[in-house]
Every structure is written in structure tokens, then in C-alpha cells.
Amino acid sequence: MGRALVTALAAAGVRDVVLAPGSRSAPMAYAVADAERVGWLRAHVRVDERGAGFLALGLAKAWQRRDDPRPVAVVTTSGTAVANLHPSVLEASHAGLPLLVVSTDRPHEWRGTGANQTTMQPGLFGPAVRLAAELPARANPASARGQVARLVAAALGTLTRDPGPVHLNVAFGEPLTPEHSWQPGDLPPAIHIEPSLPAPVTPLPAGVRTLVVAGDGAGPDAARVAREGCWPLLAEPSSGARLGREALAGYPTLLGQGLAADVERVVVFGHPTLSRSITSLLGRRDAEVVVVSPTARWTDVTGSAAAVVAAVRPSAPQASDLAWRDRWQDAAAALRPVASPQERAALALWDTPEMLFLGPSATVRAFDAAVPGAQRGARVLASRGLAGIDGLIATARGLATGMAEPVRLVLGDLSFVHDLGGLVRGELEAEVDLQVVVLDDHGGGIFATLEHRGAADAVFDRFFATPQRLDLVAVARGFGLDAERVAVADLADALARPVRGTSVLVVDLPRASRG
């Protein structure tokens, strides 16, 4: 069955398999090794299942970034190994990424008997997966082809326009080692699944005071619509749309100044999450909110959307559209220059040529506040599905592996500590060009910007900021990595050096003010 599954995965277009070692998953491991040897796929081995899941997530992001979305498989043994994938499955679910979990299991008849490492693995991920399937021990190997085809189609959203993670639980009985050698030949043809028809394009009339909002993953279509309509673009750093003259830095401040009081229409792309001012804008009932989503899921937190459409096309702009855009651009130009150390660090990083992967909380918000619109905006990614701090180093390593180019991960000190295991690389695993840039503000700086900033010092420091007693440079060097600490004033010089191998750069920042 292991060979049949790997053959079906490769035939269905899977090119990366992340595998965490285990005994019950051994049939998959032998088959993956043989398939890699003949060039069917690439194998990536990680000892930590949680990190393996996020590595697979980063690989899936890379395929998506290359406009060639493919499911990435992650294979585990039975028991708690499977449960460790849950955080990455949840992020993939909310980000719409095609993660294909292959959990291996003990024979069905062992369940409920107290057999070692045996639990109820089917259904473990609940509603987070788009499709779940199960293959019992001693099932006909021919059934693997059809099940994998269904799972891959569900992961890609081929028929549903709802991409996301899927789960295949496959049981293996003894023997777990192959009885004879396997020489994979030519890949068999895949089952052809015809995609659902594209939805029509909705026209957007000109002469309506319009704002274009681009959240995470919006893509260049949001920038194109803003450019063609001559409308102000409020684009998050990881939207892939912070491009061109229409993209405005400092837009949360502009919204706070009441500049949007007379907006008549808001066109929303992607998954906006960073600014409460944007949430308020999208909740208004006195403006038409048009949500653009090419998938079956969309963002409409307050239920205020007037329409949800797959694509839009602006009409030729009128003089009033240009005047509306210029009004916003003039206001943005009048904003204060970059001031805080976090924002200066963000601006220095934005000016580097490497792909950026941004951590959550205060990190991504510093970029949101400081960086301008430019072509750079197309090369910035983040994990904003659930915006968690976990698995960021492993995800960035997967992204660098999949893109085969240098990547800079930018994250806070707590996010760095949370995924230290992501720095681990097996001696036989390929190295990547990844620099982990830690914006060290000595705790959870995001809480200083929230309502919790009013808590007493002892409560705020212990229960919210949670500074750690760690020498981050020494920790990184303990993993065998090059590491150094720099001041913000010296950051640009440090970033001028090329990214080679995996390294850690700790940027010393003051603790965020609660004023």
C-alpha cells in the first residue's frame, strides 16, 4: 500500500513530501526514498512533527507564490505524532493552503484495546480539513489512486473553489518492511478532474468615492483594480498588493483622522486582519462593501457586505476619481516620517532584495505603519490565516526550500523562542539560505498597543509581555548557526551582507512604550 500511495501522490502532482520518522510509517518512508531516487518527488525529513507540518506549509506557500499551487504531503507515524500537526492544519485551513496529511495507523481492530500508540485518528482534525478519508490495513492497493485523486482535488479546491488541508489516515499491519526491492518506472497518468467554470467579472462604475482594501494574500489583482480605477489602496504588507502610487503607507492613521468619512464604496480583497480601523471601515453601513474572493470563502466579519464576487473590473476613471485619489495621497505625504525603532528596522528590511516572511503581532504592524508602496510589496509573505506565533521558523525554512532563493524571516523574540526547534536540521538534509531576523523588544510588544497596556506593571510584565531570560545569540550559536546582535543604527550595514546558509540576526530594540 505504501508504494501505491506514493505512486498516486506523485501522479496527482505532489512534488514534496515531508516525513517524520516512525515505525508505523515505515512503508511510506521506504516508498518515498525510492520515489525520490528516481526523481518523482523531493523528500524532507524532520524529527518534530509540529515542525514538519509547518515546513510543509512553507513549501505549499512557495508553490502558491510560483503560481503553480500543489499539495504538499506530510507523513507521520501513529499516536501523538498526528496531533502535533494540528496547528499547521488549522493555519492551512484558514489560509486556504493545500496541505495533505498522511497519518499512518495501527490496524482498526486494535482500537479501544489498549494497544500501544493506538488512538482514534480519523476525524482528529474535525472541520479544519476539506476532506478526510481512510484506508484500512490490507485494503486493495488499487483503491489508493481514487482516494488520492479525491483528496488532491479537495486540497486544491478544483471543484469546490475552497482549497485547504485534507487528511488521509492509512493503517498498516505487519510486516512494515518491504519484502522485495522497488524500482519506480514511468508515472502512471493522473485522473483528469475538470475544474469548475470561472465566475463572471463584475463591473465597478466610476465616479464613486472608492477605497480598495487588500488583506493578506490579496495578490496583484487588488493593485490592478486600484490602478485602473485611480482609487486609494490600503494594502497590508503581506497582501502582495502594496504596489504602485495608489498604495498608501500609514493608512490606519489616515482612517483615524476621519479621511474616509465620505467614502461611498469599499472593495475588499484577501484577508485583512491588522488594523482595527480597517475593521471599522468594513463594518460601515453607509458605504457599499464589495468583497472580491476567487474562492468559496471570504472575509466579512460584521456581515456588512453588499456583494461577494469572484472578480471585478473598474470602468474608465473620471476626474472625480483622480481628485479622490490625490486627496488621499496628499494626506499620506503629510504624515510624520518614520520614528520608532521598530519602524526604522522595518524600513531597512523593506529595502533589501531578499524575499521577506513576516511574523505576526508588533512585527507585521511595524511594516504596515512604515513601508511605502513599491514593487517590493510583491515579495512579502506572512502566515495570517490564524496569525499565530508558532512554527514561523519552520515555515520560513519551507518557503526558502521551495523558492530555492534567499529568504529573510522577521519575527519578535517570543516568536523566535516559540519555534526554536525550527532551527534544527538533520545532518543529511539540505541547507537553505535563510536569515532569521529577531526584533528583540524583550517581550510581547503588541500588548503595549492594546487595552492591556493599562494593567499594573507586575501584571503586565508577567502575564502579557512575558520577557524571557535568554541570550538569543548564544542560543542560536548552540544550534551551530552564525549569530550576532546589532543596534538599529547598524542594521542596514548588517543586511547588506548576502544571505548564505542559515543565520540569526538579533536587532536590539527598546521595550515598547505603554504611553
The answer to whether 385 and 93 are in contact (CB under 8 A) is yes
- What percent of the chain is helix, strand and coil (3-state, nearest 5)? 35, 20, 45
**Gap between the Cα atoms of 475 and 504, Å rounded:** 10
The amino acid present at 3, given as its one-letter code, is R
Range 244-247 contact pairs with CB under 8 angstroms and sequence separation of 24 or more: 244/373, 245/329, 245/373, 246/212, 246/325, 246/373, 247/223, 247/372, 247/373, 247/374, 247/377
Residue showing cell 502535533: 84
| Distance from C-alpha of 305 to C-alpha of 311, rounded to nearest angstrom | 15
pLDDT for 374 equals: 65
pLDDT of residue 249: 85
What phi-psi label fits residue 233: left (phi over 0), alpha (psi between -120 and 50 degrees) or beta? beta
Of 54, 176, 169, give the one whose Cα is nearest residue 121.
169
Query: If we measure between CA atoms, which residue out of 359, 511, 371, 357 comes closest to residue 449?
Result: 511
Q: Are 435 and 501 in contact (CB under 8 A)?
A: no
What gap in Å lies between CA 6 and CA 68, rounded to an integer?
Answer: 20
Can you tell me the distance from the alpha carbon of 379 to that of 406, in angstroms, rounded to the nearest whole number?
Answer: 12
Query: What's the pLDDT score for residue 515?
Result: 60
CB of 106 closer than 8 Å to CB of 26: no
Half-sphere exposure (CA, 13 Å, Cβ side) for 515?
2
CATH of domain 341-508: 3.40.50.970
Fold of 202-333: Rossmann fold (3.40.50)
Which residue, among 391, 401, 387, 467, has the nearest Cα to 434 in the 3D structure?
401
The superfamily in CATH containing domain 2-171 is Thiamin diphosphate (ThDP)-binding fold, Pyr/PP domains (3.40.50.970)
Cell digits of residue 154: 479537495
Residue 478 has what pLDDT? 96
Cβ contact 289:306 at 8 Å:
yes
pLDDT < 70 positions in the chain: 374-378, 514-515
Q: Among 289, 145, 47, which Cα is nearest to 135's?
A: 145
SS3 464: helix
Q: What one-character DSSP code corresponds to residue 369? A: H
Domain boundaries, the chain: 2-171, 202-333, 341-508
pLDDT the model gives residue 512: 75
Q: What is the pLDDT of residue 375?
A: 62
Same fold, 202-333 and 341-508: yes
Contacts of 186-194 with CB under 8 Å at 24 or more apart are 187/7, 187/10, 187/11, 187/40, 188/7, 188/11, 188/145, 189/11, 190/11, 190/12, 190/13, 190/149, 191/12, 191/145, 191/146, 191/149, 193/149, 193/153, 193/158, 193/159
**What pLDDT score was predicted for residue 377?**
67
